[in-house]
Amino acid sequence: MNELTIKNSGFVAIIGRPNVGKSTLLNALIGEKVSITSPKPQTTRWQTLGIKILDHTQIIYIDTPGLHRDEKRAMNRYMNRIASAVILDADVIIFMIDATSFRGEDEMVLKKLQEAEKPVILVINKIDLLDDKAQLLPLIDKLKDKYQFAHIMPISAMKKENVHDLEHEIAKLLPEGPQLFPDDQVTDKPIRFQIAEIIREKLIYATEEELPYATTVEIEEYVQEEKLTRIGAVIWVERHGQKVIVIGKKGARLKKVGVAARHEIEKLLGVKVFLRLWVKVKENWTDDDKALRSLGYD
């Protein structure tokens, strides 16, 4: 597509409390995996762009960490700062909630939107979990009284129900503007970042409830050869006991994470991958601003 065909462009922030499906929605809108997902809250830690051209409009979606009340640790404060800043920067805001429950943290997000002065689309996700869609009506009536939404859209990001309609409503709200990213670019994140996130996602699933939020991944080696890409990554944890959990009995869990991550990385890169993983301890890194910055949380 020629750049001159783009007539409208802008940034669309996807905002909401943790675990309402923001990253799943971003992936559904883009049509490929841009953000990692898991059933656990606070899986998303960074601001991630997903870029899409729809007719004559370039839409830049911004996936954000879930806004939450708990700010006891430096990591929590960091994630809330990112999500709050995006509200002020975006041209359009998607306020995403879960159809099965409206909580105090949803109210908190709604209060932050009062100062936005931007078009806000209320997206009610996970409607596939409702026995009767009529259950939505009292919730919609309640929220209509709280905020003047530009549009209200019930969807299922997982089943991609109403996602296409949502996309067209978003495009109508974006301002006139030039193409901001090349035709073939779908995210702002470099390959090394995407690889680290794939490894972290597999780690989240492999550790289940044992290790909620104490891990991060850093790529230390990335060497592209003719028929093979060599990748070395460090999994950082906060305590020695967590290192033991990640490695597992006779290294079984770390091997499981490595195999699952390698398969997905090979799909991403389109080449064979040799992946080596190490587990190291950085004491209390999630509550240390300096440690966070050294690991890329800046």
Q: Give the model confidence (pLDDT) of 25-70 as tens digits.
A: 999 999 999 998 887 777 888 889 999 999 899 999 999 888 877 7
185 CB-contact burial (10 Å; exposed 0-12 / middle 13-18 / buried 19+): exposed
Q: Give the model confidence (pLDDT) of 264-278 as tens digits.
A: 999 999 999 999 999
* Averaged pLDDT of the chain: 91
E strands along the chain, which residues?
8-15, 48-54, 57-63, 92-98, 120-125, 151-154, 216-224, 228-237, 272-281
Secondary structure of residue 46 in the 3-state scheme: coil
Instruction: Give this prediction's pTM.
Output: 0.90
Lowest model confidence (mean pLDDT) among 35-44, 199-208, 232-241? 35-44
pLDDT given at position 211: 67
Question: Under 8 Å CB-to-CB from 234, ≥6 apart: which residues?
Answer: 217, 218, 220, 277, 278, 279, 280
Contact 282, 291 (CB under 8 A): yes
Question: Under 8 Å CB-to-CB from 230, ≥6 apart: which residues?
Answer: 221, 222, 223, 273, 274, 276
pLDDT given at position 1: 42
How far is the C-alpha of 45 from the C-alpha of 64, rounded, in Å? 7
For the chain, domains (ranges, CATH) are 3-173 (3.40.50.300), 191-294 (3.30.300.20)
Question: Under 8 Å CB-to-CB from 248, ≥6 apart: which residues?
Answer: 254, 255, 256
Secondary structure of residue 67 in the 3-state scheme: coil
Token pair for 147: 């905020």
Q: Give the model confidence (pLDDT) of 72-123 as tens digits.
A: 788 888 888 888 888 888 999 999 999 999 999 999 999 988 888 899 999 9
Contact 116, 146 (CB under 8 A): no
Token pair for 77: 């404060």
DSSP string, 1-18: --GGG--EEEEEEEE-ST
How far is the C-alpha of 244 from the C-alpha of 249, rounded, in Å? 8
Buried b (16+ CB within 10 A) or exposed e, 62-93: bbbbbbbeeeebbbbebbbebbeebbeebbbb
